[in-house]
Chains A and B, each alone.
Chain A
Amino acid sequence: MTERAVILLAAFAVGALLVGVYSLYRRRSRPGPDRLDVDDLNLELMEGCCAFVVFTTPTCRPCKTVLRTIDGVLADRPSPAPTEVRTVDATARHELAVRYEIRTVPTTFLITASGHVVDRWRDVPDPQALRSALERL
């Protein structure tokens, strides 16, 4: 049994190490938060629903394209759950841009009612990518 205990501990140690390395890699290749604070964003979402949060600036032209793309995707859904679209001016709400590691605009998040980030995009997202993310909810 001692031998098995050693094997078990070694297996958990190796597993934890591998997961740690993977998490580090994931954080480097996909930086940004896993959760947004819905209170920061003045969002009150019903359970089962979600929101697109788009970080923008007043001079950001592609940001308008992002909003049109989101509106188009939401309009096409056959039986949509209520989905909010909230823009955040990264210059006016600089503290949020820093907290959520916003390095470029537009940056778009799809979040659940509790703020859990389902997916995120930089620049103008592909409509199919938005639809796929909504289907994961």
Chain B
Amino acid sequence: MIDSNLPRFSQGLQALVLALAFLLDVRLVVPILGLVLLAAVVGGPRYNLLARLYRVLPIPRGEPEPAAPPRFAQVLGVTFLAIGTAGLYAVEAESTGWWLFGWGPALMVAVLSGVAATTSF
């Protein structure tokens, strides 16, 4: 069980960071965020930087909820950000493939994180 506000906070922050990165064309954010999520998936709560940040901030605590769905969402996020990283750095910039396989997956993570953070999805 986890605090229900923690995944909302993490997903909201991911959405915001990825959206800003896309607007400002800062590709480096994609692999960095991917590594942050990977550390959380592989290492657990202890290595979850976003969870550590959440605990430090004065955010009201939510009610307990099952941990499995947010964990699955993190795995999906790692996967898509890995694909996005490969697309952004291996494919010629501004080509169709760069948009589709680079920023495309990163935007999907941003959109799904944003929607999850703001709704009960």
Chain A residues in the interface with B (C-beta under 8 A) = 1, 4-5, 7-8, 11-12, 14-16, 19, 22-23, 34, 47-48, 112-114, 116, 118, 136-137
Q: Which residue of A lies closest to B104 (CB)?
A: A11
- Given contact pairs A1-B23, A34-B120, A15 touches B115 in the complex (Cβ within 8 A): yes
- 6 residue pairs, one from A and one from B, having the closest CB atoms: A15-B111, A114-B63, A19-B115, A11-B107, A19-B121, A11-B111
Q: Which residues on B sit within 8 Å (CB–CB) of A19?
A: 115, 119, 121
Residues of A within 8 A of B25 (CB): 4
Where chain B touches its partner, the secondary structure class is: helix
| Closest beta carbon of chain A to B121's beta carbon, Å | 5
With A8-B19, A8-B23, A34-B120 as contacts: A16 and B66 at CB distance below 8 Å:
no
A1-B23, A11-B110, A11-B111 known; A136+B64 contact, CB < 8 A: no
With A8-B19, A48-B1, A114-B63 known as contacts, the answer to whether A15 contacts B68 (CB < 8 A) is no
Q: Is B92 an interface residue (CB 8 A)?
A: no
A5 closest partner in B (C-beta): B23
Q: Mark B85-112, 1 if CB is under 8 A from A, else 0.
A: 0000000000000000000000110111
Indicate the member of A4, A47, A48, A118 with the most B CB atoms within 10 Å: A4
Smallest CB–CB gap between B77 and chain A, Å? 14
**28 chain-A/chain-B pairs, Cβ below 8 angstroms:** A4-B22, A4-B23, A4-B25, A7-B22, A7-B107, A8-B19, A11-B107, A12-B111, A12-B115, A15-B108, A15-B111, A19-B115, A19-B119, A19-B121, A23-B121, A34-B120, A48-B1, A48-B64, A112-B1, A112-B65, A114-B63, A114-B64, A116-B4, A116-B66, A136-B66, A136-B68, A137-B1, A137-B66
